[in-house]
Amino acid sequence: MMKVYYAHCLTIFNRPQEARDVATLEALGFEVVNPNSAECEAGYKASGMEFFRKFTEECGAIAF
């Protein structure tokens, strides 16, 4: 299964739009990497936006 990094603005974290977007990506067959997670929050606090660079290498696609 191909991973997709779901890049999205903070204003839709934990909102219905985020849930719909994730469901759509999963229905398309992607494994969704969502930055709205405890792991990502900790990584961001430790190293800022640089933390997210690894996802560009790990994922086969990016959704925004």
pLDDT at 41: 87
The domain in which residue 28 lies consists of 3-63
Domain count within the chain = 1
Give tens-digit pLDDT for 5-64. 999 999 999 999 999 999 999 999 999 999 998 888 899 999 999 998 888 889 999 999
Phi-psi group of 34: left, alpha or beta (phi > 0 → left; psi -120 to 50 → alpha; rest → beta): beta
pTM (predicted TM-score): 0.86
Predicted local distance difference test score (pLDDT) of residue 51:
92
Residue 33 near residue 6 (C-beta atoms within 8 A): yes
